[in-house]
Structure formats: structure tokens, C-alpha cells
Chains A and B, each alone.
Chain A
Amino acid sequence: MALRFRHLTLLAVGLLSFWLAPLRAQTPSAKDDRSFTVYSPVPSPAWDKLFYLAGAKDPVKLTFQNNRRSVPIKPAGAPKPLVFVVENIDPATQKKTYVPVAEAAWPEAASKALVVFTVAGGVNPQVQAVAVDDGLKAFPLRSVRFFNTTGVTLLAKAADFQGEVLRGISPSHLYPVPSNNSDIVGVFPLAFAINDSNEGAKLLFTGNGDVWPLGRSLIFILPPAQGLKEIQIRVLVDAPLLPKE
């Protein structure tokens, strides 16, 4: 009996261990605070049809804002590519189907992500999505990051930083804040150039960036609009709440 009881106890412990083991491994996800926001620097009608495929749940409609990130969206399940779909409604049956149009890998070790949508040119434009770490560690307050969509490496000057800006997202660069007064919007020097193999460095833009004492700026560098020579600049500013100490 005792042996039996011991065997049952061991079995129970084993089962419990077996049951608890994965739970222990998933402890962090029990406090899963991951979220992502979406933004696009270029307007497109495609954004009105775009959904996030949230696992088994109903797809989540994406709502794009002009100059700010969308409301945060909780990703479904474990880290895996975020899948974005387009909703199609059969006019006859009103049945909804979802066709994947883009997916974005979750940035490594990120709890906050920003998914940037762009549209690749061509006859049949394709939606492209890139998720970048949008947490305060990667992108702290009083700093600037660049998102280079021009397709070429640029030379940039931003505050004290001077160097190359590769395609896609750049590391953050802190800018000095002259005043903590939130109503004082200072400036830091901002310039972009391209290193042409034939003509040497060619200045594309010089100007200033806004210094936000309580915010941070993500600067999108876009190719020139049709008919213009100048690169386009979009500035996405936010003032995320600091985590409690």
C-alpha cells in the first residue's frame, strides 16, 4: 500500500512536473505585455482593408493615424511573424475571406513593436510590413531614429550624429534638450546626403529636427514625390509614458 501510495505520489509529482514544466517555461508570457502599433508614412487605400490575423480570433482591423502610431494591438500567441490580411467579401454570399498580404517578424527581444507599412511600386503594388523594436530601450525619449525607405544608403547628420543611414530602421541617436519646458520646441541640425559614386556627396536635405523634451522622433525618409526633386520627410513623434520605477 505504501509502495502503491509512493508510486501514486511519484506519478502525481511526475504528472504535476510534466504539467508545470511548460508552464514554468512560459512564465514570462503569463505577463505578456507585448503590443504593437502600426503606421504608414504614405497614404494608401489598401490600409482601409488591412487586418491583423490574430490567431484563431477574428482578424483585428488596423486603424492608421496620420501622424501618430495606432492604438496598441496585442499580438496573438507566442512570438511568430505577424500576419496581415486583406478582407474580401463575396458580394453574393457576404461571406468574408481573408487573404494574407504581408507578414512581419517580431523584433527580437522587443516588447513594443512598430509595424511600418509601405507599398512597393509597380503595376500590382504589394504591401510590405516591417516590425521594429519600439520600446524605450531601443528608442528612448529625447532621441531620433531614421526609417530610410529610399532604397539607398544615405549620409545623415542629426544632432551630434554623423554617419550612414542604411535602408530600414536606424539605431537611436540622442539629441540635447535645451529646456525641460514642454512648450519649448528646440531644434537640432538635420541633414541628409547621398554619396554618388560619380558626383561625390550630394546634399539632399538640410534643415532641423524638433527637440521634444518629453518625446522622441522617428523620421521617415521617403523618395521624392512624383514631379519633385526633394526627398520627403515625415516625422512621427510620440511621448510614451515612462515605466514606473
Chain B
Amino acid sequence: MRYTARGFALLITITLLAFLVLLLVSLSSMTRVETQVADNTKKLSNARANAMMALNLALGQLQKFAGPDKAVTARADIISAGALTQPYLTGIWKTTNTTSTPDIWLVSGNESSPVAKTPANVLSPATGTEPVVDGASGYVFLVGSNSVVANDQRVRLDKQPITAAAGTIPGLTTAATIGNYAYWVGDEGIKASASLINPRLAANTIAYDNATGSGGQGDNWSTETDKRDRLDQMQLARPRLEHLFTSFNPDTDGLTGLPNVRSNAQLLLMTNSPTTGQLKAQFYSITPLSRAVLVDLPNGRLKKDLSDITASPDPAILKYQQTRLTPTDVFNSYYTPVAASVPTATTYPVYSLGPVLTEVGVRLNFYISTADNTVHYTYLVEAELWNPYAAELRLSPASPLTLEISGLPAITVTTDGTTNQTFTPAITATVNAAATSTWTAGQIQVFRGSTALEPLASPGPMSNQIVPGATTDPSATTVTASYGGSIALKAVIKVGGNVLNTITPPVYFGSGSVSNGMAASSTGWLMGYGYTFPEDLYVVTSGLSGNTFDPRMPVLTGANTNMFSAIWTETPANNTAPIGTTGTFGSGSALTLYDLPRQEITSLGMLTHIIGAKSYSVGNNWGGAANSVFDEYHVSTVPRFASTWTPESGLPLPNRYASVYHPESTPLIALPDLQSSTTSARYLLQNGAFNINSTSVEAWSAVLGSKFAAWKYAMDPASGITLENVFLRMPHGAQQLANPPLLSGGSGTSALNDVNARNTSGRQLTSAEITALATQIVGQIRSHGRPFLSLQEFISGGSIFNAINIASINNALGPTKIFGPGALTQADVIGSMAPFITARSDTFLIRSYGDVQNPVTGTVEGRAWCEALVQRLPDLADNASAPIADVVAPNPVTYSSGRKFKIISFRWLSASDI
């Protein structure tokens, strides 16, 4: 029994010892694992710290170079049409830099020398092993095959070493690499914004009363639904994602989801979403939301707000903004003629709202009356008047049009008797207002008569009177009228006594004489004087050559009418035919060229109808200085009279590309500051900002042309028609015209032909034409060799104009109609984009990498990738509480860092996210 008991104790002891050993071993293992985990965590933390450092380096470079207002951004492939090693680098150019070399390429390795790493000398993305290769020739992918579809779209960069100084690492006496980093900055402003929807279709619609108390200047967005619907016509309704993802319809599939998208990957969660492959293919073309500060690039300050009409830059613009037509029904409106208040203004010609005198003539006859043996002279006036606007013109009987013709030569009348009288005809005629009370949009009418001008269907009588001073001459059988030459014919059209237009054509009429005999009444004409506008639509719609002009100019002289016609020659004796109605100003069909506001202007593009001595100057390459409005102004559409709208209400603005920005220091915005022309941009951001230096064909194709599922107009007010890729020349009056926007290959009233092209509101493009146009636009931008430094430079440079020509968009029209309303012009494109275009980007995507390297073994022991979306804001980086005057126009010395960049989203990436 004893032996048994002692053995048991030993066994227990040994067992306990074994458990103890096991416990010790276990504890040791656990400690070892925990230590290893802690070590790995520390290395990962260090790697992330290095990645964050890289991110901060990138952000610092952005702040330094892109913080000031006077800077533009572009992708590397803008500088060369040929192949680049790495075309997806982002460069920043100061607005004084007119070279192809930017002030910095935003990529790691350029910290001390900003253009050391260039698109030509960084690593080629076409080869390499993802995601990273260590070692002396190590590199890292920041954009890899999980982000893009093609190898050459990847971004592969050298790893930049993080070096510890000598002596800082125990046991090492020399400097050593303790980690590596890399960063790449992507320009999000050159992409189309995916999260923007048509706000009119959303639940939070524009529905507030901005009319009450406005004196007719505001609009009631709650009750005037036609006006609210018309907002879709003022600019691109929304980016066209369906151009990139054919199965996805943003208006139905993304109406609720899209506004919440914060990363492209979230698009995969939408109904009828794109595939992963489709999404990767658009990595460089779409972004969730690009926003921009409303900056006047050339002047280095915030833009001024044209919606504040109290600060309108010119009486002409003010007058145009204040114009409101009288509605007759949902789609139709009319105006009554209003004379220009500043008819001699040259910077912004003030056009009269009224008919244009396109042709006028007076024909004369002399004869000896068999009734009284005196010399009679007769004259007949003809006037061709044109309503150039996309609205009805109504004359008030109380304020009829009058036509005054002067500058006719002194005429000496001689008979074969002794009578010899000299007189100078002066003619004043009144257009019958009652008979012409309503002129349809674009209508051309010819009037005839002497003192009373009546429609041709029932013309007024000629004037028949005795030559002033002539006496009875019984012996006379022949009368001769001699006239001098070199006269200054002048025609003035007035309304209510105020001048609408004065036309002094530089027509030299020769001298001569005509003769006639005795007659019981006047028959035929002996001589005539007159002029006509060139029967050439190109002359009045283009601004490319010297003889082109805006036919509404208050004073037309010189080259404006420097063209004789078959009817009006320099020989008065040959001018005996009635005025012609051939061609452009034929009275057979309407010719509609200009638009008038029905509601508040929401796009600077509308100014193309008012600014410039040549038609459509604003937005076209002949606009010159007039195109500076796109840099200097924005149109906030901040309500002035809506009591329910406040900056904090969250209600959208009529300009769907403007959104209220609350500075951190200003949670409540003083409404007057937001309504002020000067300070408005302090509290606004441009949503969906699109940098016109974009070299992405896909991005361009997504911002070209609106779509309407059921566009209703006067000819189809019930069900409406489908419009695809449409650009509206007359966005306010589109519904009033007989023809819808024309379409290549269209039929009926939408057919692209010479007749329809005279009286349409715009143009539709086919999908193929959109692709061709976008391709050519990018080609034009790249051929420029550097980014455009302002919107004015881009527009006046004519990139889109050239692209339209090369893409043969208007080839179906004759050469005279390539700027007519049925054609697509650069101004049409710019007008549709005006609320969201900019020449620089303020939204950037930063991808950075960091790793930790063992300084002794050289082994990389931890690595991390991260991604941040950064946004430039109106606030100044150097002083968040700077006075508003400084924020509006910061002194570049005092505020050298410019406006503040802020990280608006951040995430760590795994290798599978790259």
C-alpha cells in the first residue's frame, strides 16, 4: 500500500511539473506571438504613417501650387499628342505660364525639384509586377489592374526612400533607409460627376415662390411649372452617364441613389448598374462629384454674381436680364417694341427689342400730268421688316413703327418749257400697327405705301404730288429729272418716336437723269434708292470675317450693309424693280435667330444673344474680350424674394450646378452676403465642375447634350417628343418655334435641311456625332500643347468650333447656314456647359503608399496604401477667419497659400483595391 502511495505522489509531481513546463512553454509561445503581433502592428502603423506622410506631402504640394487662384490644372496627355510614358500625371500651371512645362507634376519625387519627375521619365505602367516590388529598383503601383482595365492605364512609381540620418539608429553609424513612400495625384475636375441628377425630377424639387414682391423679375417656381420645366433647357440637365454605361438610366435607376454616391464603386449598387469592368474602364472619366470654387482665374479673385442685377456690369446686360415677355399661353409669349436706351454703346451694343429693317427702297417717277400740265412726282416706299426673336412681336396702335428715309439727292426737274425746280425728297411713313399687331417669331413682312405702309396684300397708295414750286407749263411735253450722286441714304425705324435702328449704308449712288412724257397718271418708275441686307445667313450669324455683323445693331454702317444686290444698284435709273425676297430674308418662311428671356437667366450662355457687335459673340471664337464674362461672372440664381428659401434650407437653386457652402466659421450665412454680386461666390461651390482642359473623350461625351424623354412644345403640347443629345440655341423660346431641334437623319419638322434650319431652337446630335465631337474636342485641346489658362482663352481659341468642323456636324447644311439656328455652334455647346465649366480643377484624388524597411537587412516589413479625396474651398489657407474682402480678392503675398484644401474622404486601401 505504501509503495503505491509514494509512486502516486511522484507521478503527480511529474505530471504537475510537466503541466508547469507546458504552461511555461504556452506562455512563452503566447508572449512570442503577442510580441510578433505587436511588432507587425507597429510596422504597419509605421507604414501607414509613411503613407500618411506621403499623403501630406501631396496635399502640401497641392496647397502650395494649386491653392492660389491663378493656377490651372491638366492631365499630362495635354502636352503632347504622341505617346507618353505616363499620361496620367497631373500638372499645375500658373496662369502666367504659357509653356508646355507645368510648374509642378504632382507625383512623388518632385518634392525638392517640382518637375524632376515627368510623364516622360517616370516608370512605364505597361510592365511590372503588381502591387509592389521591393529592392534597389523597387516600385509600387498606385493605380493597378483592380482600378483600370489596361496595363498602360496603371500608375507605377519609384519608391522614394525615407532615410534615417546617421547615428539616429542604434548600432548603425551611417544613414539608412527605414522606409519608402510614393504618391500620385489624380485630377478629378477633368471627369464627369456621376452623382449629379436632374434636380427637377427629384423629390426635393425647386418649389418656392420667388415672384411675390419681385416686380416681375422673379419666378414662382411652385406654380409656374412651365418655367420650372424650362430650367432643363438652360444647360446640360445632368451628366450623361448613359453615354458611358448603356444599361444605366440615371433618371430612373439612379434618381435616389446617385446623390449618395461617394465613390465610383458604389455605382455597382445601382439598379441596372455597370459591370466592374465597365466601371474600371471609366476610372479616368467619372468621379462621384467634382466641385470648384467660383474663381476668376485671370484676375485671381472670386467671380461676381450676375444674378445680382443691381450690380449688372452694363446697361445692355441689365436691360436684357430685366426683359420679361408677356405669356399668351404655356409656351407662347410676346413683346412690344422697345427702343434702345443707349443706342451708341459700343462695348455691349444695346439692341432694340423690335423689328429689324432688312431692306428698304423708295422708287420715284416724274411725269407731266395731262390734267393740269404740271410736273408730278410719285414715290412708293417698300420696307422689309423682320422680327428676329423667338417670340411674337406685337405693335401697339398707340406706338406704331415709323420709317424715315433721308439722304436722297437733290433733284432738279426740267421741262422742255421753262420750269426748273430743285427739291430734295424726304420721306416719313407710318407702318399700320393695327394691320400688323401680331408678328410670329422670326416672321418677315414687307410693307408698301407712301405715308402709310401697309402689308403687301393691301398696299398703301403711292404718293402723287406736284413737284414743289412747279408751275403750270402748257407747252411742256417732256420732263427731265437730274440728280446728283454720292449721297448718304439713311433709313431710321422708330417706335413711338424713339429710334430702334438707324441704317446708313455706304452705298454710293451715281448721278444721272431720267425723263418722261405726259400721262394721265403715273405708271412705272424712273429711278430708285434702297439697300438690302446681304441675302446670306452666314453674314448675320457668323463673326469670322470682316463683313459679318449683328443685324440688330443700333447703328448699321460701313461693311454692315456693304453689298449691292440685283435690286439696288449704284445706278438709280436701274432700281425700278420691287424689293426682292430672295434667300435669307425672304418673307416666305420665318427666320429666328435670337432669344429673349422668359424667366431668370441661369446661364451666362444666354448673353450670346446680347453682347457683341457680331451675332453670337459670347461663346464663340470671335467673341474675343466678350468671352471674359465666363471668367468674371457666375449666375448663382440665389432667390431674392423667396421667404422660404434660406441658405440653410437645403432647397436647391434654379442653377442646378450651384450649391451653398457653409464655411466652418460661418454656420449661418447672412442672406445679403449670399445675394451680393461681390461676395456671393464666398458661400457657393460649383457642383459638377468640369475642367475644360479635360483630355478624356469619355468625360467630354458625358457632358455634351441633354436628353428629354417627352419634350413638349407648341406643336406637340400634349405628349411631347424625345430629344436626344440636344443643344438649344433658344432655350427660353424653344417651345414657341414651329420646328423642334433638328436631328441628323431626322424627318419632318426635325429634318436637318435648309428650310427647317431657319426656324428651329437648336440641334440634336446622334450618339456617333457625340463621340466624334468629343474625340475632336480632345484632339483640339491636346494640339494646343498646354492647358488653357482661362475660359476666355479656351473659348476664343475655338477648340470646340474646330472640333465641330472636323467632325462634320454641320455638313448637311449649306455653307451659309453653318452658324444658323439649325447648326451646332461652339456657343451652343458652351451655353449648355456654362454653369459648370472651369479652366482648373479643385477636386483631386490622392493615392499614397508607405512602407517600413529594416535598416539592417533591407527587408520591407510593413506596407500601406491610402486614398483621399481633397477639395479646395473658398476659405483662405493662411487665415480661416480672414475678412470677407480678403477672401473675395486675396492678396497673393499675404495669402501665398491661396485657398484651403480639405480632405473630404479618406480610406485605407488593400492591395486588392489598387
Contact = CB atoms under 8 A, between A and B. Distances in A.
Interface in A133-170: none
Find the residue from B515, B567, B573, B580 having the highest chain A CB count within 10 A.
Answer: B580
Contact of B577 (A203, A212, A234): A234
B462 A185 contact: yes
A43 B512 CA distance: 12
Contact of A186 (B459, B525, B565, B571): B459
A171 interface: no
Contacts of B567: 207, 233
A182 B522 contact: yes
Interface string A210-245: 101011000100001100101111111111000000
A40 to B, nearest CB: 12
A206 B574 CA distance: 18
A68 B574 CA distance: 11
B562 to A, nearest CB: 12
B446 A208 contact: yes
A208 B581 contact: yes
Contact of B524 (A204, A205, A212): A212
Interface in B570-594: 571, 573-574, 576-583, 586, 588
Interface in B547-577: 564-567, 569, 571, 573-574, 576-577
Given A66-B514, A209-B578, A210-B578, A230 B524 contact: no
B899 interface: no
A110 B297 CA distance: 83
A65 interface: yes
A224 B566 contact: yes
Contact of A207 (B521, B523, B524, B580): B580
A100 B553 CA distance: 56
B524 A67 contact: yes
Interface string B518-536: 0111111111000000010
B817 interface: no
Contact of B380 (A66, A178, A185, A203): A185
Interface residues of B, number: 42
A20 interface: no
A239 B577 contact: no
A207 B578 contact: yes
Find the residue from A185, A210, A237 having the highest chain B CB count within 10 A.
Answer: A185
Interface string B48-85: 00000000000000000000000000000000000000
B456 interface: yes
A181 B459 CA distance: 12
Contacts of B456: 186-187, 208
B840 interface: no
A183 interface: yes
B458 interface: yes
A212 B523 contact: yes
B523 A187 contact: no
A133 B522 CA distance: 24
B580 A185 contact: no
A99 interface: no
A238 B459 CA distance: 21
Nearest to A178: B458
Contacts of A65: 514-515
Contacts of B564: 228
A201 interface: no
B444 to A, nearest CB: 12
A206 B522 contact: no
A105 interface: no
Contacts of A43: 571
B516 interface: yes
A11 interface: no
A206 B588 contact: yes
B523 A66 contact: no
B97 interface: no
Nearest to B515: A65
Given A182-B521, A235-B524, A206 B576 contact: no
Nearest to A215: B523
Given A68-B524, A239-B523, A184 B461 contact: yes
A228 B576 CA distance: 18
Nearest to B563: A228
B682 interface: no
B614 interface: no
A130 B406 CA distance: 40
B459 A237 contact: no
Nearest to A241: B520
Contacts of A219: 577
A184 B459 contact: yes
B522 A207 contact: no
A205 B378 CA distance: 27
A67 B525 contact: yes
Contacts of A235: 524-525, 576-577
Contacts of B304: none
A198 B571 CA distance: 35
Given A228-B565, A230-B582, A233-B566, 20 more contacts: A66-B514, A66-B573, A183-B461, A183-B521, A185-B459, A187-B459, A190-B578, A203-B583, A207-B577, A207-B579, A214-B523, A215-B523, A225-B566, A230-B565, A232-B569, A232-B574, A233-B567, A236-B524, A237-B524, A239-B521
Interface of B: 378, 380, 446, 448, 456, 458-459, 461-462, 464, 512, 514-516, 519-527, 535, 564-567, 569, 571, 573-574, 576-583, 586, 588
Interface of A: 43, 65-68, 178, 181-187, 190, 203-210, 212, 214-215, 219, 224-225, 228, 230-239
9 contacts: A178-B458, A185-B462, A186-B456, A203-B582, A207-B578, A209-B578, A228-B565, A235-B525, A237-B525
Instruction: Give me the 5 closest cross-chain CB pairs, A-B, nearest first.
Output: A237-B524, A230-B566, A66-B573, A239-B523, A182-B521
